[in-house]
Amino acid sequence: MDAPIRVLLIEDDPAYPVLLERLFASVPGLILCGVAQDGRLGLELLEQEQVDVVLLDLVMPEMDGLTFLERLRNRPGRPAVVVLSGVSSQRIIQRALGLGADYYLIKPVEPRALLGLLRTLCGGAVEECARTVLEEMGAGGLGMAAACAAAAELARERDGQMLLKEAYAPFIQRERTSYACVEKNIRALTGKLHAGGSPAYRQLMGGMPSCRPSNGEFLRCLCRAALARCMERRLRPKGTGGSRSSD
């Protein structure tokens, strides 16, 4: 069910592609789809490849990272950008974030931290798309946020066997709530949507179910719809991409 995370590396250090390929080989769902030695080549690869995340160095020949960010800033459908740089100047960090970088990590970067960030960025995209799908059905209330978070977790399962307690776990921890509360709120959400029986709900469920679906059934349908919506956004030539910044 997972949509692979496609990563473009823009970095002139020849050791980095080797390190990333070894790292990604141990984690299913991550693809190093291209490597560019400077920003100019990176922009060219963005025209040729479907890219979810750019890992960007700043100090490079031909076109540096800041210039790359300037050129990327107003492009439609821009991918998320994570700066990986040895430059620790607060002025440069704020400049990069101001130009649209989503995150700025100072080298050396711990591999697990990088993997976690990549998952967060793309999990966030699935969660956002799930929210859009639910809003189109007129959903709202306490169960909506929990359902979106669970759908994003289910997007990572590989054998269709993820337990709901695993899918709920990040939201439970984040919101300091309980399994029972999340289960109840999502059940109430699906009950309202089933009672309403909107065309969008029927489409999500592949027809009108004879009774309210279980939370697991509903969330897996929501997950599939959210992943499909994410792929539409990636492939749409004039789509828009969100930007989040963090120190």
Rg (CA), the chain: 20
3-state class of 76 per DSSP?
coil
Reported as a single tens digit per residue, the pLDDT across 169-198 is: 989 988 999 999 999 999 999 999 999 999
> Quick count: other Cβ atoms within 10 Å of Cβ 38?
19
Report the b/e string of 97-118 with b at 16+ CB within 10 A: bebbbbbbbeeeeeeeebbebb
| Strand order through the sheet with 5-10 | 30-36, 5-10, 53-56, 80-85, 103-106
* Residue whose C-alpha is closest to residue 209's, from 228, 222, 190: 190
Q: Say whether pLDDT at 149 is over 60.
A: yes
What are the residue ranges of helices labelled H in the chain? 15-25, 39-48, 65-72, 90-98, 111-136, 142-154, 164-175, 179-196, 199-205, 215-235
Structure token pair of residue 122: 């793309």
Q: Where are the domains of the chain?
A: 5-109, 123-234
Task: DSSP letter for 88, please.
Answer: -
Strand pairing class (80-85; 53-56) = parallel
Q: What angle do CA 206, 150, 83 make, to 5 degrees?
A: 115
Structure token pair of residue 57: 């160095």
CATH number for the domain whose boundaries are 5-109 = 3.40.50.2300
Model pLDDT, residue 141: 81
* Residue whose C-alpha is closest to residue 150's, from 119, 122, 181, 172: 172
Taking every pair of C-alpha atoms in the chain, what is the biggest distance, in angstroms? 63
Structure token pair of residue 61: 């020949």
Reported as a single tens digit per residue, the pLDDT across 68-108 is: 999 998 777 788 899 999 999 999 999 999 998 988 999 98
* Residue whose C-alpha is closest to residue 227's, from 144, 123, 142: 123
Q: What is the Cα 143 distance to its own chain's centre?
A: 21
Model pLDDT, residue 154: 86
Model pLDDT, residue 1: 38
Ramachandran quadrant class, 100 (left: phi over 0; alpha: psi -120 to 50; beta: rest): left
* Residue whose C-alpha is closest to residue 204's, from 221, 228, 217: 221
The band of 129, judged by pLDDT with boundaries at 50, 70 and 90, is: confident
- Give, in order, the Cα–Cα distances in Å from 111 to each of 21, 22, 161: 12, 11, 27
pTM: 0.58
The Cα–Cα gap between 71 and 43 comes to 8
